[in-house]
Structure 1
Amino acid sequence: MAVAIFDLDNTLIAGDSDHSWGEFLVQKQLVDVASYRRSNDQFYEDYKRGELDIRAYQRFVLKQVAQFSQAEQSALLTEFMQCKIEPLWLPKAVALIEQHRQQGDYLLIITATNRFITAPIAAALKVDELIATEPEVIDGIYTGEIIDPPCYQEGKVARWQAWLAQQGRENETCYFYSDSINDLPLLSAVQQPIVVDPCEQLRLAANAKDWPIISLR
């Protein structure tokens, strides 16, 4: 048995769930349209360059989430899944997950996107576990802060290693599928790195390291 680890955004789905959530709020006019879209787009560009200030970004996202009641949050997530995430579904990604499931592998999504946004996506993909950036919640309210370490760049490696130790899986082979240069640290740490529809920076790194490159599009 092995552990099959998947990045989420632009790997298992054909887009970025974080950025799509911002676009969803803009389209529903639940935020100041011009300023929120401008900031959302800038954070996404920073992420693609590998320069995201993840704490600043999570404050931007989670302080807005905190403005909604729990009932409103649930309703918004349901609508978000239907109108924004389902159109990004990739049949080849679903088939890849199923292939690993049939092999008896443990299925794990590890993502920089926060758990609020990604939990329903991971549930829909029927993976065994989700490791995500964890929002700080006090008395049921999102504070805008996150619980360290964020699940981003080297933080993904730390979260993965802690999870392996907790699960007693240190000796199991780990596959990791990702599209992003931000995941170079974890791709370098696992036994079986597999690059999926990569950004140009990651494509160059994968070619230099002779890592396999596949497409799920």
Structure 2
Amino acid sequence: MNAARKDPKPLHRRSALAGEAGRASRFVEDALATPEQADSAAFFDVDNTIMQGASIFHLAWGLYQRDFFTTREILGAVWKQAYFRLAGVEDPEHIAEARASALQFIAGHTVAELHEVGQEIFEERMADRIWPGTKALAQMHRDQGQRVWLVTAAPQDIAEVIAARLGLTGAMGTVVESVDGVYTGRLVGEMLHGPEKAVAVAALAEREGLDLARCSAYSDSFNDLPMLSLVGDPCAINPDHRLRAHARAQGWRVRDYRTGRKAARAGLLTGAVGGAVAGAVTAGIALRGRRR
């Protein structure tokens, strides 16, 4: 009986001490919190950098499951993009048509609808595909008081959902025209891909008073070399072979969070769905999936 009466006291003391230690730790962390750095920021690509695979693939698949587009719309987009990709046609009019059709699958739907559905799709298809290592790097910048932006070819609205869910500052993505809150499917400006990312980052830096020499940028793709070369601290994340070679030659940081097999598959996927062809390829995959 005496032993039974004595046991709770040490447990109680240990619990109290643990509580005090936790409060002390939080106090120290708050006291050491770094003020926001007004002149620096970090810029992260999304596909295969923040997230495994292509965000537009996951978005298109989720929208397809919700009957956002028809088989006829898919076939039309697939034909345009496949011809553009496989034939290697460089005719300006055809390129413009291919780019304009890349995000046709959200035409006719409202901005509010895509935002709501985008939250669901993030939980269903994207949350578990976030690379923990890259997420930790983004959080490191946030802990240092830096703003962190996503820069992606995916639609601006879904990019903002991803940024918000990860606790980041914001996102820059491809802007799809809307009239009275309804998407037309037409792009406003160019897709945010390749050199366009560098243009967007430079414009943001000028607007926000950022010193690009003190900024960081992260990407997996050689196509993002203009953005990576714009900042003082570039880093290749899960890089394709061309970016890996360039990063090593320049002495840039390289981080790879994949296994060898995953790295090979991701490289193939990036080539298949990168840039302007991403929307149509995802639609084609979805169509094949339904027919099986």
CA distance in 2, matches of 1:80, 1:127: 18
Counting only pairs closer than 5 Å after superposition, residues 79-158 of structure 1 correspond to structure 2 as: 79-158=120-199
- Aligned counterpart for 2:105 among listed residues 61, 64, 86: 64
**Distance of aligned partners of 1:69 and 1:92 in 2 relative to their CA distance in 1, 3 Å threshold:** same
**Distance of aligned partners of 1:130 and 1:72 in 2 relative to their CA distance in 1, 3 Å threshold:** closer
CA distance in 2, matches of 1:31, 1:171: 41
Matching of residue 20 in structure 1 with residue 61 in structure 2: no
Q: Which has the larger radius of gyration?
A: 2
**Residue 181 of structure 1 aligns with which residue?**
222
**Distance of aligned partners of 1:207 and 1:112 in 2 relative to their CA distance in 1, 3 Å threshold:** same
- Displacement of 1:30 after TM fit? 4.1
* Percent of matched pairs sharing the same residue: 29
CA distance in 2, matches of 1:103, 1:39: 44
- Displacement of 1:7 after TM fit? 0.9
Identify unmatched segments of 5+ residues in structure 1: none
**Distance of aligned partners of 1:109 and 1:171 in 2 relative to their CA distance in 1, 3 Å threshold:** closer
**Residue 27 of structure 2 aligns with which residue?**
none
**Distance of aligned partners of 1:144 and 1:212 in 2 relative to their CA distance in 1, 3 Å threshold:** same
What is the Cα-based RMSD across aligned positions, in Å?
2.9
Single out whichever of 171-180 and 64-73 deviates more from structure 2: 64-73
Identify unmatched segments of 5+ residues in structure 2: 1-36, 259-292
After superposition, what is the alpha-carbon deviation per residue over 1:67-90, rounded to whole angstroms, capped at 9, x for unaligned? 334564344223211211112122
Larger % of strand: which? Answer: 1
CA contact (8 A) 1:149 1:159 kept: no
- Aligned counterpart for 1:39 among listed residues 78, 89, 92: 78
SS of the aligned residue for 2:102 comes to helix
SS of the aligned residue for 2:175 comes to strand
CA contact (8 A) 2:49 2:237 kept: yes
Name the aligned partner's letter for residue 205 of structure 2: L
**Residue 76 of structure 1 aligns with which residue?**
117
CA distance in 2, matches of 1:54, 1:88: 32
CA distance in 1, matches of 2:127, 2:115: 17
CA contact (8 A) 1:3 1:172 kept: no
**Residue 8 of structure 1 aligns with which residue?**
46
**Residue 207 of structure 2 aligns with which residue?**
166
**Distance of aligned partners of 1:152 and 1:60 in 2 relative to their CA distance in 1, 3 Å threshold:** closer
CA contact (8 A) 1:26 1:36 kept: no
After superposition, what is the alpha-carbon deviation per residue over 1:161-180, rounded to whole angstroms, capped at 9, x for unaligned? 11111111136611001001
Larger % of helix: which? Answer: 2
CA distance in 1, matches of 2:212, 2:66: 47
SS of the aligned residue for 1:8 comes to coil
After superposition, what is the alpha-carbon deviation per residue over 1:75-120, rounded to whole angstroms, capped at 9, x for unaligned? 4223211211112122222221221111111211111211122111
The number of residue pairs the alignment matches comes to 210
